[in-house]
Structure 1
Amino acid sequence: MAGAAAWLRLWLLLAGASCCLSGLSIYLSSWAVRVPAGAREAERLARKHGLLCLGQIIEGEHYYHFKHRGMVQESLNRHWGWHVHLKREPKVQWFEQQTLKRRTKRTIAVVPTDPWFHKQWYMNNDVHPDLNILTAWSKGYTGLGVVLSILDDGLERDHPDLSANYDPLASYDFNSNDPDPQPRYNLWDENRHGTRCAGEVAAAANNRLCGVGVAYNAKIGGVRMLDGPITDIVEAQSLSFRPQHIHIYSASWGPEDDGKTVDGPGILALEAFYKGIANGRGGLGSLFVWASGNGGIHSDNCNCDGYTNSIYTLSVGSATQSGRVPWYSEACASTLTTTYSSGIKSEKQIVTTDLRHRCTDKHTGTSASAPLAAGMIALALEANPALTWRDMQHLMVRASKPAHLQAEDWALNGVGRKVSHHYGYGLLDAGDLVDLAKKWTTTRPQRKCSVKVLGQTPSPPLLVSCKEVSTCIGRTRHIRSLEHVQVRISLSYSRRGDLAISLTSPMGTKSTLVAIRPYDTSNQGYRDWSFMSTHFWDEDPRGTWTLFLENKGDAYNTGFLTSFVLQLYGTDEDMTARKIAASVVSECVRRDSEGACEGDAFYAFQHLCLSYCPPRYYNRSRRSPSLDRSPHPAQVCATCHPSCYTCRGDTANNCTACPPFCTFHELSHSCSPPAYPSVFPSKPAAAHRQHLIFIVLAILLGGGLLLMERWLPSLHVMAFLRWTQPTGPSAWISRGFLQLQRWAQVCTVIVQVEEGGKFLLQEQS
């Protein structure tokens, strides 16, 4: 069997047909199976069909890993026998045979000319500004009490500069299914990536070895998951590993940065993200830090990477020592912040631990930027462990500065912050980050408003001037201050890389969702793909939103836009009016004999006293025997019922807000169980006849533009468009057919948000 797998690999190599370059899928003898009846039933089903049940994939969820040892491990074809068997099992709700995924470590090979490893220029004031880590250390924050895990190719746990901070509970090997994350050694030391990333975060201090980590008193673990077959199962297991123990997950990898790939997490990895932000860290949310990508040399765009453009990850870009855009850096609207990394050969690189107990000053790429940010986040968590996953994103927006970073696209957004597609909001400042963490009160619960611009059947006539959409009416969905904005679209296009897409907010901020990608020759377009932008942070969403689709290539490029959904995330609080003054954290308030904070201003939470109780907790006062003579009762943060996000008591009927993916019942003050979005495919509905409007995008240098109304089964699409032309539009309408007689440059979709959260769709011709 091993020989057969080797011949398969050889055939693929000789044919030049890797799974991602030719479109072929490599199937493994491994299945993800959803069995709601539980582990015992899953084991019974596995035995029945001659498979091994390797256990639960995501803690607390009924997904199980089935595997067959005796068959060919890799194949170009599905194993249809087991497919049929599992499909017939009534207790199997869903299953998926696993396929190999190509994931590349985001590192680069550059011959350096840098000084030795003790010259950590990015945090010792050799450059100005640096990451201001010395200021955070001077305030006493070194990552103590915070646990991080590096999701990568392993971790050299016995490295003398890592062993003191190594945490076995934050470590596992999902490639070999054992608790030891030690990397596999070879002559090329190709599995050094994880050990290098770990040293940036938590290399020990004052031991005369290598350099020092940003959070040198934090605990560090490693999950070995990149040195073997990478599947949705492996990614989900890694992302969901011990979420109540691990606070921060750092990942410096993703789909290939080749300028032509559009790929993201699978069904199981998506659910791991959902559960992580909803339940991780005691319900405050796991923190996922991600390198933005190294595809700059291929004109890649990190908005085509479903990991970096997720609202649940903190995407980190890179800047060189001189404040320039590195040659490998990808520009995109989802990047939130930036730290330093390598540049050209004459510029310094990053100092860290290396394999075989060595040190290096040659760590490079956005792979090096993300762990630096993860270490800085650990400093902020030590300062205030009550921060939620969204709080941390708010802090990073505010603690990032344009500084000396050079780019032509710096622009002021609607609330006066400078933002760039290369750097996000700028260079992250550790001193500011910990200072803000100490003063930050919890952001109000996340609100989401979705408007389906295309996807419903329009009523005749074909063109209308105004259409009201009541998607976001009501106090539970109204957004005052934006956080993330997503555009989810489906379209075909004759050459995908020629299409540039941008979004303009009501406050005038224009964000490029995807720029041209010269190497992307695909004619597949985008299939229900979500682009994300952080550029509208804290803006008011009310007004007109405009989506631009522009052909930058051949005049005869054509395509069909079949779906467009605008998704707004934010809060009902006016974040621009928030006052940040006194510290909400006090380590000096006296405690009573039972650990409660004395006085009426602070509440006991973990090892701190806070002026507020975070989500999942509520303020409770109690009289302590040691405080009988005190005029003030003792204050504690007591735990809410697990179903509540915020509450007034510890029962299920005392909720005041619900966790992510849950619905609040106002009459009972309770929350529904979580309903995670699109966890697994639903069965297709019966076909029926509906309208379809084709939007033919032939939109530059002489391409005629058409809107056609036709009858096709099972499709629901509604178009509200404004087409911008150099000489103004000229149109005639006959029997549902609209032709623009001038040559169009840009297709524009307009969505208007009214006062009170109502959406209007406008079309002008």
Structure 2
Amino acid sequence: MATPHGIGGAWGLGVLLGVGLGVGLGLTAGPHDAPSSVYLSSWAVLVAEGQRDAGLLAQRYGLICVGQGLGCTLDQGTLMGTHIVPTTLLPTQVLWFEQQTVKIRAKRSINVVPTDPWFPKQWYMNNDISPDLNILSAWSKGFTGRGVVLSILDDGIEKDHPDLAPNYDPLASYDFNSNDPDPQPRYDTWGENRHGTRCAGEAAAVANNGICGAGIAYNAKIGGVRMLDGPITDIVEARSLSLQPQHIHIYSASWGPLDDGRHVDGPGVLAMKAFHNGITKGRGGLGSIFIWASGNGGINYDNCNCDGYTNSIYTLTVGSAFASGRQPRYSEPCASTLTTTYSSSVSSQAQIVTTDLHHHCTDRHAGSSASAPLAAGMIALALEANPALTWRDVQHLVVRASRPAHLQAEDWAVNGVGRKVSHYYGYGLLDAALLVELAQAWAGTRPQMRCSIKALHTPRNIGSKLTIPADTSSCSGTTRSILSLEHVQVQLSLSYSRRGDLQITLRSPMGTTSTLVTVRPYDTSQQGYKDWTFMSTHFWDEDPNGTWTLMLENKGDAYNTGGLWGDEPTHTVLHSLPSLPPVCLPSDCCLPGHSPCKSPVSMGAALWGLPPSPIEGIADPTASSPTSTSKEVGWGHVDTTQCCVLSLPPPGVLTSFILHLHGTDEDMMARHFSAPTMGECTKRDAQGACTGESIPHHALGQQGMMLSAPGGPTSPLTPPSLHRVQWLLLCPSRLLLVLLPPPLLWPHHAHIPYLHPLPSLLLHVPGQLSQQLHLLPCCTSL
């Protein structure tokens, strides 16, 4: 209603408190065909007197004074009442009055819960469990993947599936098995080529169309590459990884070498070049995003650091967890795994809902294959929130948006900057809402720095255990200087009589220990590791300066032998072999390129992996068959017709141990961008807003502060002398930090002052006090 003549300025009405509102009898249409009005027996009255006089009038006539409106002068007041008609007041006192009606007003927010019939089955994103992947909260912020293009590298995609067709992108698709642009899968009786279609639906199935469920990035464009349904070559892989790098933002792959616990294999020369071109030139120089499933070889004791796709610094490796927080039997431990999403295993468990062949839906998708496309969809939301993110920015954000939450593993450890990390889960369960929040505020990472240290030049026997230090002082104060680590690689060349018995770990100067490869009992190979590169993400944001320690340990038979080759092999090592067992091992003990051995002495020379040079009485290393000569070499008579001849490249081609450090010259822990982690949401409304929260029980913010389990302490804390106790209270809407001298008896939080809204408060906690932080239960009286 327009302001009556003679009343200047805008004004508003307050809320009627403590007065029942009766419904009037009249119904009438409002202006401009508005819905019929319901009249109430309450009135609004504007009087000319000052606030004091308005209060007296309200008291006299049984009205409630709701105060002055916005912009009112002091000689105006507003009254509301339910029992009188305002005309009973003196006309000179009343400037305006109006009987109140019920107005229809709609919230201008999006109902983020999809109407798809199978969405209630999508337990990992519909808040049926706590915590889920927090997809609804990300959607409620307006991010659905719009403007982002994903491609599934697999066995094809059913492009005409009604839940995929509206989002299908032909430019993000190709068939490299048949060399044509149509990625439609080959159909057979068993549905063998359903894998790619299922992965595509997880990431970008259409929402609110009455079909199946919803993809995480349901407004993104989705394509598919058919490359696994035929002979797979280095060329096929390279072409798939290089498809339309200026158009495709995210490539998702749920495949790799055999997960049998025996193989050590990775991309070829061309595929490696495709990875490098992707991160340097893709997306206009921001870098293509390659998402990779960690593998299903856990049941075979496999380790995904023996997979050259998952242990590449250019890929973002995703692990799996059950809804219960347990690790699946198929889950592979791996130092290169960065984050985790949900999946499932046996048919008795709720599995992943997605699209299936022949225009069908399925709720039986499982394995680590299902985890990677979920992460790809979540990262699509982050790219919509901030399209300027580089491939390294995305990995930084994933580290910070992953939470240990309820994930169960015995190997959780706290790294040098206070983050919890696991070989099974990386940094934890990926949170979509936190990911997009951080993406919105993220400032680009400074250029990548790399420093490589050649830590070993001469051959070394491994024995039962070998420890090798690597000093990084040569990296300090140079153009290669790194303040905050990202990826750490260990490049090794060694021989071993049974490769699977060798466990390799790396310890950083800040004390973090990462297992590069675990024991693999089915790996009986004698090939060792030839110029193989392991990778770990466990040192993220640590300071690399100091001494690193590589440890190689025999976890199998005491008769295992082997050694690191060194980059300058020489015959003199033949005279420094340790004592050998009195009997020869079986003839299959020899490495590839060796002939079977029977003589203990000749066997030892080969099995210790010490590269012989072409000296008198020893065969040429390039020979592929035994020599017929024999000669005294100081160890007694050596029958070289039965000697295992080791084939090695010339000196300098391979190096035993090189440590590669990747990172930035910025102190990433000093960034003031990260919001502390909120409590887990246990219930959301139709708009995705949280209506119930549990007590957080995981690391808080980028400082990695460790909190106690829900429930808080029950006894006084006795800290070291001269230190004050730091008690932390984390509620759904506020964060309270108190510094009180000991002893502090429970509970003493009733008088804690409100300090700052949670989303914008960054805490800095001295490391020596990190064990004195405790979580107190939320108190409604606050």
- Does TM, normalized by the shorter one, top 0.5? yes
Matches within 5 A, 1:351-362: 351-362=353-364
- Going from structure 1 to structure 2, the CA distance change for 1:513 and 1:403 (only over 3 Å counts) comes to same
- Going from structure 1 to structure 2, the CA distance change for 1:279 and 1:236 (only over 3 Å counts) comes to same
Q: How far does residue 456 in structure 1 lie from its aligned partner after superposition?
A: 6.5
Amino acid at match of 1:444: R
TM-score where L is the length of structure 1: 0.59
SS at match of 1:555: coil
Structure 2 residue aligned with 1:511: 514
Amino acid at match of 1:498: D
Q: Is the 8 A contact 2:152 2:252 kept in 1?
A: yes
**Structure 1 gap segments, 5+ residues each:** 1-114, 459-464, 583-765
Q: Is the 8 A contact 1:117 1:359 kept in 2?
A: no
Correspondent of 2:530 among 527, 532, 541: 527
Larger Rg: 2
SS at match of 2:214: coil
Q: Is the 8 A contact 1:321 1:343 kept in 2?
A: no
Identity %: 77
Structure 1 residue aligned with 2:158: 156
Correspondent of 1:564 among 648, 654, 657: 657
Structure 1 residue aligned with 2:215: 213
- Going from structure 1 to structure 2, the CA distance change for 1:255 and 1:247 (only over 3 Å counts) comes to same
Correspondent of 1:435 among 434, 437, 440: 437
Q: Is the 8 A contact 2:473 2:545 kept in 1?
A: no
Over residues 137-193 of structure 1, what are the superposed CA-to-partner deviations in whole Å (9 max), with x where a residue is unaligned? 000000000000000000000000000000000000000000000000000010000
CA distance in 1, matches of 2:137, 2:386: 17
Correspondent of 2:373 among 371, 374, 380: 371
Structure 1 residue aligned with 2:668: 575
Q: How far does residue 472 in structure 1 lie from its aligned partner after superposition?
A: 2.2
SS at match of 1:513: strand
Structure 2 residue aligned with 1:283: 285
Q: How far does residue 542 in structure 1 lie from its aligned partner after superposition?
A: 1.2
Structure 2 residue aligned with 1:318: 320
Amino acid at match of 2:209: N
CA distance in 1, matches of 2:492, 2:147: 42
CA distance in 1, matches of 2:502, 2:455: 20
CA distance in 1, matches of 2:118, 2:219: 23
More divergent stretch after superposition (478-487 vs 448-457): 448-457
Q: How far does residue 457 in structure 1 lie from its aligned partner after superposition?
A: 9.8
CA distance in 2, matches of 1:328, 1:116: 27
SS at match of 1:539: coil
Q: Is the 8 A contact 2:470 2:548 kept in 1?
A: no
CA distance in 2, matches of 1:424, 1:139: 27
- Going from structure 1 to structure 2, the CA distance change for 1:469 and 1:312 (only over 3 Å counts) comes to closer
Structure 1 residue aligned with 2:492: 489
Q: Is the 8 A contact 2:153 2:225 kept in 1?
A: yes
- Going from structure 1 to structure 2, the CA distance change for 1:221 and 1:468 (only over 3 Å counts) comes to closer
Q: Is the 8 A contact 2:469 2:547 kept in 1?
A: no
CA distance in 2, matches of 1:121, 1:355: 22
Structure 2 residue aligned with 1:147: 149
Amino acid at match of 1:426: G
Matches within 5 A, 1:460-499: 471-499=474-502
CA distance in 2, matches of 1:226, 1:259: 21
Q: Is the 8 A contact 1:118 1:210 kept in 2?
A: no
More divergent stretch after superposition (294-303 vs 335-344): 335-344
Structure 2 residue aligned with 1:422: 424
SS at match of 1:452: strand
Q: How far does residue 466 in structure 1 lie from its aligned partner after superposition?
A: 10
CA distance in 2, matches of 1:167, 1:466: 51
Structure 1 residue aligned with 2:130: 128
CA RMSD of aligned residues (A): 2.0
Structure 1 residue aligned with 2:400: 398
Structure 1 residue aligned with 2:294: 292
Structure 1 residue aligned with 2:57: none
CA distance in 1, matches of 2:286, 2:423: 29
Over residues 572-626 of structure 1, what are the superposed CA-to-partner deviations in whole Å (9 max), with x where a residue is unaligned? 11111111169xxxxxxxxxxxxxxxxxxxxxxxxxxxxxxxxxxxxxxxxxxxx
Amino acid at match of 2:509: P
Over residues 698-718 of structure 1, what are the superposed CA-to-partner deviations in whole Å (9 max), with x where a residue is unaligned? xxxxxxxxxxxxxxxxxxxxx
Q: Is the 8 A contact 2:339 2:399 kept in 1?
A: yes
Structure 2 residue aligned with 1:547: 550
Amino acid at match of 2:657: F
Structure 2 residue aligned with 1:245: 247
Over residues 608-655 of structure 1, what are the superposed CA-to-partner deviations in whole Å (9 max), with x where a residue is unaligned? xxxxxxxxxxxxxxxxxxxxxxxxxxxxxxxxxxxxxxxxxxxxxxxx
CA distance in 2, matches of 1:497, 1:565: 21
- Going from structure 1 to structure 2, the CA distance change for 1:293 and 1:207 (only over 3 Å counts) comes to same
Structure 1 residue aligned with 2:765: none
CA distance in 1, matches of 2:287, 2:362: 34
CA distance in 2, matches of 1:190, 1:467: 48
Correspondent of 2:140 among 128, 131, 138: 138
Q: Is the 8 A contact 2:335 2:514 kept in 1?
A: yes
SS at match of 1:336: strand
CA distance in 2, matches of 1:443, 1:243: 21
Normalized per residue, the structure richer in strand is 1
Does 2:538 correspond to 1:445?
A: no
Amino acid at match of 1:163: A
Q: How far does residue 475 in structure 1 lie from its aligned partner after superposition?
A: 3.7
SS at match of 1:254: coil
Q: Is the 8 A contact 2:484 2:666 kept in 1?
A: yes
Amino acid at match of 1:348: A
Q: Is the 8 A contact 2:449 2:480 kept in 1?
A: yes
Amino acid at match of 2:669: T
CA distance in 1, matches of 2:517, 2:314: 20
CA distance in 2, matches of 1:247, 1:571: 24
SS at match of 1:394: helix
Amino acid at match of 1:333: A
Amino acid at match of 2:498: R
- Going from structure 1 to structure 2, the CA distance change for 1:121 and 1:493 (only over 3 Å counts) comes to same
Q: How far does residue 469 in structure 1 lie from its aligned partner after superposition?
A: 7.4
Structure 2 residue aligned with 1:46: none
- Going from structure 1 to structure 2, the CA distance change for 1:544 and 1:419 (only over 3 Å counts) comes to same
Amino acid at match of 1:287: I
SS at match of 2:662: strand
CA distance in 2, matches of 1:312, 1:541: 20
Q: Is the 8 A contact 2:455 2:469 kept in 1?
A: no
Q: Is the 8 A contact 2:309 2:315 kept in 1?
A: yes
Structure 2 residue aligned with 1:334: 336
SS at match of 2:453: strand
Structure 1 residue aligned with 2:678: none
Number of aligned residue pairs:
464
Q: Is the 8 A contact 1:118 1:351 kept in 2?
A: no
Q: Is the 8 A contact 1:494 1:558 kept in 2?
A: yes
CA distance in 1, matches of 2:471, 2:377: 47
Q: How far does residue 285 in structure 1 lie from its aligned partner after superposition?
A: 0.2
Matches within 5 A, 1:665-680: none
- Going from structure 1 to structure 2, the CA distance change for 1:490 and 1:466 (only over 3 Å counts) comes to closer
Q: Is the 8 A contact 1:250 1:374 kept in 2?
A: yes
CA distance in 2, matches of 1:469, 1:130: 41
CA distance in 2, matches of 1:455, 1:269: 30
Q: How far does residue 346 in structure 1 lie from its aligned partner after superposition?
A: 2.9
Over residues 661-702 of structure 1, what are the superposed CA-to-partner deviations in whole Å (9 max), with x where a residue is unaligned? xxxxxxxxxxxxxxxxxxxxxxxxxxxxxxxxxxxxxxxxxx
Matches within 5 A, 1:345-356: 345-356=347-358
Q: Is the 8 A contact 1:315 1:335 kept in 2?
A: yes
Amino acid at match of 2:515: T
Q: How far does residue 204 in structure 1 lie from its aligned partner after superposition?
A: 0.2
Q: How far does residue 454 in structure 1 lie from its aligned partner after superposition?
A: 1.5
CA distance in 1, matches of 2:362, 2:503: 40
Q: How far does residue 553 in structure 1 lie from its aligned partner after superposition?
A: 0.3
